[in-house]
Structures are given as structure tokens and as C-alpha cells.
A and B are shown apart, each in its own frame.
Chain A
Amino acid sequence: MTKINAENMHFKALNQAIRDSADREVTVEGCLGQRFIGSGCLHKSISVYGIPGNALGAYLTQSDITVYGNAQDALGDTMNDGTITIHGSCGDAPGYGMRDGTILIKGNAGYRAGIHMKQYMNKIPVLVIGGRVGDFLAEYQAGGRIIVLGLGFEDTCPVGSYCGTGMHGGAIYIRSEKAPHVPAQVSVSDADDEDKAQIAEDVRKYTGAFGGNAQEILSAHFFKLVPNSANPYKQLYVNN
């Protein structure tokens, strides 16, 4: 295992050191806002102590990142596969354009989470948010699963406004008694046992990373959000 003390290190030097490490396991200590950690990394397992900067794990490929603290904006941008685990909360736009892999966030996420997540065949990205999430969750979602557990926010709906605008694929699961406000492209239903079975593995990954009882979490009420159509904009145009 390689240990890197990131104190006073520029992001270029830090990322170079991570890439150059002969070990798969890399631990970064004293991280303070360095951006792009793990961006495009191959075959690495990176542990970060402190607070990584924006675009952590962008284009991440066959690598895992665990952060023992909070993460900032653009977490897992266009992530390809692997797992990002955040023992805290994250900023805006996590999982933008994500293609595969798993992002587990123990706490809350900011605005614009999971925008334009995709899926293709067996590449199905998963974003699990333990707490609550801001506005514009899953805009233009084209695939994958987004799960908001709302732990500690049981009295309110844990997602903000404009959830799923332009959604045309994938599914959102929200653990709540209170239904979210959604635009016309999205249909909301109560998750049944079959739906919950779809996310049981994801919830177990969450509790495996952060503790808690998956069975108990899954026993609560969930809403399932899916798009009304794969072609929500079809009727908008006339050939001219």
C-alpha cells in the first residue's frame, strides 16, 4: 500500500503520485480540496482522509474510491465503473452522465444529482444517497437506479423540486411517506415487493459500508419514479 501525505500538494502532483504508485491500494492523507482525484484512474483502490476537491473520480474506470469525510461538486462525473463511497455528504452534481458503477453517499447530496445517468445492457449505474438531496435530482435521466433513503428525514420528502425533469429512462426510488412533486414526464407509484427486491442489493451495499439494518430500511414505504415514455420529446416537433 502506498501512503501519500497530500498537505500543500498541488492536484497535478497528487494525481501523478496516485497514478505512478505501483500498488493498487493508495491512501491519501491530509487531503484539502485537491481536485480530480482518481480521474481516469485504472486499477486503483484509493482511500482519502480529509476533504477531496471537485470532480473526484471523474471518468473512473475499474477503480474504487473511499472518502472518510465529505466530498464536493461533480463527484463521479461520467464515471465508467467501480465504486465511490463517501462517509459524509457531497456537493452538487454527483454522478453526472454516469455510465456504470456505484456511488454510495452516507449523508446528503446537493443540487442536480444523477443528471443524465445512462445505462446500456448490463452496465447499470447506481447512486445511493442516505439522507436527502436538493432540487433537480435525475434531470434527463436515461438509465440506472437512483435511491434516496431519507434516513433522518422521515417527516419530509427527502428530494427537492423538479425531480426527474426530462427523464426518459431508469428509475428513482425514494424512501418516504410523502410523495415528491414531479413534472409530467414522470410517473410515481408505490414500490411493491418486486421493486424493493430490485434495490435490496444496493441498500445492503449501503449498510455494508456505513452500518444500519438493510431489512429495516427496506421495510419502510418507497416511491418508485419511472419515465412515462422513452421518447418524451417526440410530439414536440414537426418537420419543416
Chain B
Amino acid sequence: MPVNFFPAEFDVVRNTDKCIKCRACERQCSNEVHFYDADFDKMLTRDAQCVDCQRCVCICPTGALKIVPNPNDFRKSPNYTHQLMIENYRQAGTGAVLLSSMGTPKEYPIYWDKILINASQVTNPSIDPLREPMETKVFLGKKPAGIRKNPDGSVCTKIDPYLELSTPIMFSAMSYGSISKNAHESLARAAEELGIYYNTGEGGLHRDFYRYGANTIVQVASGRFGVFKDYLDTGAAIEIKMGQGAKPGIGGHLPGQKIGEDVSRTRMIPMGTDAISPAPHHDIYSIEDLRQLIFSLKEATEYTKPVIVKIAAVHNVAAIASGIARSGADIIAIDGFRGGTGAAPTRIRDNVGIPIELALAAVDQRLRDEGIRNEVSIVAAGSVRCSSDVVKAIALGADAVYIATPALLALGCHLCRTCHSGKCNWGIATQRPDLVKRLNPEVGYKRLVNLVHAWDHEIKEIMGGMGINSVEALRGNRLMLRGIGLTQKELDILGIRHAGE
């Protein structure tokens, strides 16, 4: 019998005093961890198949279950960690590339947590959002460099197409295919109710969701899935996906087993065939080529909607963003390397790209230095985790943020990071009908609305504390930020002072 080189990652612990053998855990687990042994009248587990999604723990009516990390460990080494050893065993067994999901779990600096926000004391009094108006509405798109007037004094400034957001938060791109139809419906309905936008990702737009077009950003990626005139006409904005923070420099790959009938129709590819998005756009080799795609989309939609260019935060992000700002794009979305993904090679996810905080600060500064900041709006993405992250992002120069992982958390995701398996027990990252129906869009969309409302209120409170009553006045207001425990170099890049200065 071949030796298994590594033990199960998790221990499924059952309190037999509490367990009533109702077998709910067995029915709920798509990984088939739990099973009933009639001979012994006992619930048993296959620990090695557990992914720690916590579904059984949450569903168990008597609270009899716990999933804990397997305390068994290899001989300790800070260099060859337990995880690294397992990964090498996996590759030696298969000869394959490691595939992971969601944001990197590796311990990189999180600059949000090393930045502190200011508040007013004595002078410039703070504002109470409960009794005074507080503006969180933002507009995304090109801003005119100045006001032009007709000889009679009337204003004739040409305003380019823009997006109007009730609060500076949008749902980031997640394709139909990588997430379920019910998850998409939850996002679409929430975006409509909130007066914000969700993003189709690169998998096209399901026919049922064309009605949410006014709150939809339609994405055009290298695979061009589901891209045609109706799709482009339906969206409020078009996003060209050049890169993604979790996997800069590589394309996408939705495995054939996730391409069922509905996904197949939406992407316009046969069932069961892999959906491959090549790493580059094969018609884009330069900023001039990017300009060409931007204008072909603008021509196709008669200059009625803004075009977003989304890039991964990489080393030369400031120079790249400067090129994009000159390419005709209206909005640049920058996706930091801690951002999530439905599937990415582990080594890429964990090692390629730079943090959004540094990228954002560098891009905003570069565009200001070049006098073209008004040419584009900036959307920060890639691990914006809570309302204080939003406030810090805006103060570092963002016009708005994209969130995805918090939206998935609102829908029940427990960050088990196995989206790529297609067996999501929470009905989010799966196309299996029996799993998809576990996510009720009626409940899901309300939870998303709650989440964003709560964040919006917190943003107002934090702004009020600073004596600022509009997001416009917070944007790029780096004096409101101080670093804690950062080097001078990091402070210089972030463009902020150290706490106490």
C-alpha cells in the first residue's frame, strides 16, 4: 500500500454526547467528510477530505462539531514550513502546478493596519453624521480641467460620461462561472438598491440580469467571453481587464466541469470545454493598442459610457497607470496582490505583485506630478476589508474602492480557499444545482445591502470625526493619515508622516 506522505490538514471533532445522529452534516458536506456507519450506529468522518468551510459546524443543530487544525506537525523549521513541505509532496505526487483560491494567506505587511486616521480636537470641530449632512456620493470618470463658458456667460464645459455612486464602494469583478447564479443575483440586486455597481467579471452576463444593467459594469477580458453589442450596450460602464491582483501576468482558466448549460450559454462556448482567458490580450502590445481597444468599445457604444482599465498592482504600476491615463480610459482600477481569486496558481498568488496601499499612493502621486490626475478616476482594489480601509484608501488618493471578499463573506463564505474545487458548500463558488440553491438571493442581497450600509455609516462617522463632511474633501488628503512602525522609505512612498510628527 502506498504511504500517504502527509496527514489530514484538519481534525473534525465530534462531541458524541451532543451528536444526535441526525446526519445533517452528512447531507450538507459536498466533500463527503461525514458518513454514518450503521453497524456501529455511529457518525464517522473522513478528515482528509475536509476543507474547513465550517458549513457542518454552522448547520449542526446541537453544536456537536468543531473543525480544528490537525495538531500533528512535522518537525518544526521556520524555513521549511509545514505548508511548504505538503506542497512539495503534492507536486512530487502529481507533477502539477499548485492551484489555490482567494487572497494569499502568507504573512506580508498589511499597510492598512500600519496607518492611523486623524480626528479633530478643539479646533475644526468634528461633525456628527446623525445631525448634519454628510456626502458620500462620488462620481467616477474624467473630470474637466476647467470650466468653459459661452460668450453669453452660460457654461459649456463638456462632461464626459461618468458613474455616480451613492457611496464609494463597488462590488469587484467575479464572473458567472466562478461564482453561482444566485451569488450574481444577490450582487446585482444589492447594487441596484444601494445605488452602486457590481461587475460581471469576464464570464458574460446572464440573460436574467440584463435588467440590472444600470448598476452593472460589464467586463471585457482577453477571452472575450459573452462580449457582444447587447452586452456592451447594457452595462453602465465597460471594464477592460488587463490583470488581476491575485495573479498578475497570467490569464484565467475556468475548468470544463464548471461549464454547465447556463454558463455555456452565457459565455457562448460549448458545455464541458475549458474557458481559457489567455494571459495577454492578443491585440494589445502597447499603450497605443490599449487605446485602440478603448476606442473600439467607445465607438461601439457611441461614447455613452466610461471605460475602466483594470490592472494588477505591479512594480512599475505608476508608469503603467500614467500610460493608461493618456490612453483614453476614464477610470483606472488597481488591484493589489492580496486580492482574492476563484483560482490562481499558488506560487503566483503568493509571490507576484505589490500591496495596493503602496501602488495606490504611487499612482496618485505620479498622476498629480504629471498634471493628469483629473483625466482618470482611481478605484482601489485587492483586500479592502472594512470601512476604515476604505477611508484610508480614499485619503491615499482613491476615488472609490472595489470589494469582493467582504461581499462573499456577507453571502456566507468562510474563506476556506477552495473555490477552484467547484464544491462550495455555501452555494457561492459552485455551479452544482443542489449547492447553488443553498444561497437564497433574497437573503443574500439584503445581507449585502446591510454590509454596505454599515460601512457607509462608519465612513461618515470617521469622516465626521476628522471634521470632513464629504468624500470629495477626503480624497488624497494624506494629512489625515499617519504611519505607525513604518520605515522612512515606506512613509515616503505612502506620502504620509509618522505618528507623532
Contacts and interface: CB of A to CB of B under 8 A. Distances in A.
Interface of A: 11-12, 15, 19, 35-36, 39-40, 42, 54-55, 58-59, 61, 73-74, 77-78, 80, 92-93, 96-97, 99, 112, 115-116, 118-120, 123, 136, 139-140, 142-143, 166, 168-169, 230-240
Contact of B228 (A92, A96, A99): A99
Given A118-B269, A139-B278, A234-B255, A240 B228 contact: no
Contact of A35 (B100, B232, B278, B295): B295
Contacts of A15: 299
A139 B282 CA distance: 9
A232 B276 CA distance: 10
Given A168-B273, A230-B273, A59 B228 contact: yes
Interface of B: 87, 90-91, 93-94, 96-100, 220, 222-225, 227-229, 232, 253, 255-256, 264-265, 268-270, 272-274, 276, 278, 282-283, 292-293, 295-296, 299-302, 345-346, 418, 420-421
A169 B421 CA distance: 24
B270 A58 contact: no
A153 B223 CA distance: 32
A140 B93 CA distance: 29
A40 B278 contact: no
Best-surrounded residue of B98, B255, B292, B296 (most CB of chain A within 10 A): B296
Contacts of A169: 269-270, 273
A93 B224 CA distance: 14
Contacts of A116: 222-224, 276, 278, 282
Best-surrounded residue of A42, A92, A168 (most CB of chain B within 10 A): A168
Given A96-B283, A123-B268, A58 B274 contact: no
Best-surrounded residue of A39, A115, A119 (most CB of chain B within 10 A): A39
Best-surrounded residue of A112, A118, A166 (most CB of chain B within 10 A): A118
A59 B297 CA distance: 9
A42 B229 contact: yes
Given A120-B269, A230-B270, A238 B282 contact: no
B420 A233 contact: no
A171 B93 CA distance: 35
A112 B282 contact: yes
Nearest to A42: B229
B229 A140 contact: no
Given A59-B232, A78-B224, A115-B282, A143 B270 contact: yes
A238 B228 contact: no
Contacts of A237: 96-99, 345, 420
A140 B421 CA distance: 23
Contacts, number: 147
Contact of B255 (A119, A139, A231, A238): A231
Contacts of B91: 238
A166 B275 CA distance: 11
20 contacts: A12-B299, A15-B299, A36-B296, A40-B229, A40-B300, A55-B296, A77-B283, A92-B283, A112-B282, A120-B264, A120-B269, A140-B223, A168-B276, A169-B270, A230-B272, A231-B272, A236-B96, A237-B345, A239-B420, A240-B346
B229 A61 contact: yes
Given A40-B300, A74-B283, A80-B228, 15 more contacts: A15-B299, A35-B296, A40-B229, A40-B299, A59-B229, A61-B229, A119-B268, A136-B282, A140-B223, A169-B273, A233-B274, A235-B96, A238-B94, A238-B99, A239-B421
A12 B91 CA distance: 54
Contacts of B225: 118
A37 B27 CA distance: 57
B256 A97 contact: no
Among all A-B residue pairs, the 6 with the closest Cβ atoms: A40-B300, A97-B224, A240-B98, A238-B96, A120-B268, A237-B99
Contact of B87 (A93, A112, A240): A240
B398 to A, nearest CB: 31
B292 to A, nearest CB: 6
A204 B222 CA distance: 32
Contacts of A239: 99, 418, 420-421
A36 B100 CA distance: 40
Best-surrounded residue of B253, B292, B345 (most CB of chain A within 10 A): B292
A169 to B, nearest CB: 6
A164 B418 CA distance: 32
A168 to B, nearest CB: 6
Nearest to B98: A240
A234 B274 CA distance: 8
Contact of A96 (B94, B253, B256, B282): B282
B241 to A, nearest CB: 13
Nearest to A56: B296
A40 B224 CA distance: 15
A119 B270 contact: yes
Contacts of B228: 59, 61, 78, 80, 99
B296 A142 contact: no
Contacts of A233: 253, 274, 276
A236 B347 CA distance: 14
A19 B227 CA distance: 20
A118 B346 CA distance: 29
Contacts of A55: 292-293, 295-296
B99 A240 contact: yes
A93 B282 contact: yes
A15 to B, nearest CB: 6
A115 B256 contact: no
Best-surrounded residue of A12, A112, A142 (most CB of chain B within 10 A): A142
Best-surrounded residue of A36, A59, A92, A112 (most CB of chain B within 10 A): A59
B274 A231 contact: yes
A36 B299 CA distance: 7
B273 A231 contact: yes
Contacts of B255: 231, 234
Best-surrounded residue of B255, B274, B301, B420 (most CB of chain A within 10 A): B274
B417 to A, nearest CB: 9
Best-surrounded residue of A40, A112, A136, A232 (most CB of chain B within 10 A): A40
Contacts of A139: 278, 282
Nearest to B83: A240
B227 A59 contact: yes
Contacts of B273: 142, 168-169, 230-231
Contacts of A230: 256, 270, 272-274
